[in-house]
Amino acid sequence: MSIDESPARPAAPVPFDPELGAALTLIQQHMPPLTSLDEIPALRANSALMPVPTAEQLSRDGAFDVEEREVPGPAGAPDVTLLICRPTGATTPLAAIYNIHGGGMIGGNRLVGLDSLLDVAQELRLVLVSVEYRLAPEHPHPAPVEDCYAGLVWTAEHAAELGIDPARILVAGGSAGGGLAAAVALLARDREGPALVGQMLMCPMLDDRNDTPSSLQMAGLGIWDHAANEIGWTALLGDRRGGPDVSPYAAPARATDLSGLPPAFIDVGSAETFRDEDVAYATRIWQAGGQAELHVWPGGFHGFEGIVPHAAISQDAGVPRMRWLRRILAP
């Protein structure tokens, strides 16, 4: 048996899960593919891609105290906004999820995807902190990751004030947010920053080279394909994208040392750009002597769970993540 890895002739695409494929027919016209940097403003304006909760939805009928804090950003950079949702009436310090939103490094904001994280925070009684970071291409690397890291450092240093147990903070993110969460975990390790209890990486965007079999195989299909990925990375890195001197804090797949990291939870669909880089990241964590839990959901396109929550496979995908959180965050 031989595996054809020639980029010139990618393998046949992995078919989408039937329900996800059908859902694509409904949503594709509202999610035009990203084909050039010029389309970034239109993508940011397209709220269909990323529904955000309202202020009332954030508080969940008083289940959470919601506040925003302006905290010091990276040296010489503007302050960073943190959205903090704290379960009301907590008397002991709680575990916290430090969330980094997705959006391909070029879009989204601290509210994106918060609805499902609030479900988790409500059920497990967690503090949810969501960071607003500067976006590429206006703010290329290292602005986004340094904003995220600065917010994490402030959160850990002010844990007592926020009612957070500093020993139980985990970083989490989806898509670009997953890549940034992985990078923040690398930074925390290398700078001897906050101790993290885990890193929850949901279909993370890790590798600027954009040349894995899955990236080529799924080109032109689903959500956030090869072309969109190239635009996102180019916005973040400019000409350095795919070159020899890309920092692991920009693209964690570039890290040569994945030892000494907090336990990772990684999940991804089998029918998307990031499948192979995400599987490789888990594999390399194991090879470096670390812990990772990996789930590959058959026929899942990028972000399927948030976009098509009713599908059977989306419902299933939420279950192991919840169980991992319960295990990892148990006091």
Partner 1 sequence: MRELVGRVSALDTEAGAAVRVIAYFDRLVQAHAGLEAIVRGAAMLAGCPACLSDPDRHLRIRVRADGEREDARTAPDPGWPAHHVGSGAAALRLERPGRAGPVDAIVLERAAAAARDVLDRTWGRAPARPGEDPALVELLLDAAAPPQARLIAARRLNLAGDVRVRAVAEEGGRARIERDPVIITDRPGEKRQGVGPAVPVPELPESWRLARVALRLAAEGSAQDPGPRVVFADELGGLMVLAAAARPDGEAVPDVLALERAGSAAPWTLATLHAVAYAQSLRAAATELTIHHSTLQERMAHAEHLLGWDVRTPQGRLRLQLAFALRRLARHPEPGRPADRRGRRVNPPSGG
**Contacts to partner 1 by CB under 8 A:** 15-16, 18-19, 21-27, 30, 48, 51, 307-312, 314-315
Rg (Cα) of the chain, in Å, rounded? 19
Of the two residues 35 and 315, which places its CB atom closer to partner 1 in the complex? Answer: 315
Find the shortest distance in angstroms from Cβ 53 to partner 1: 11
Q: Which residue lies nearer to partner 1 by CB, 155 or 314?
A: 314
Closest to partner 1 by CB, 51 vs 243, is 51
Are the C-beta atoms of residues 118 and 54 closer than 8 Å to each other? no
Q: Where are the alpha helices (DSSP H) in the chain?
A: 18-27, 40-45, 55-59, 114-124, 143-157, 159-162, 176-190, 213-217, 226-237, 275-287, 304-307, 312-329
Tell the smallest beta-carbon distance from residue 31 to partner 1 (Å).
9
Q: State the minimum distance, in angstroms, from the CB of residue 316 to partner 1.
A: 11
Nearer to partner 1, 48 or 167 (CB): 48
Q: Output 30 or 191, the one with its CB closest to partner 1.
A: 30
CB 12, min distance to partner 1, A:
15
CB of 23 to partner 1, least distance (A): 6
The CB-side HSE value for 185 (13 A sphere, CA atoms) comes to 35
Q: Is the peptide bond before 137 cis (omega within 30 degrees of 0)?
A: yes
By DSSP bridging, strand 292-297 and strand 264-269 are: parallel
Taking phi first (over 0 means left), then psi (-120 to 50 degrees means alpha), and beta for anything else, what does residue 181 get?
alpha
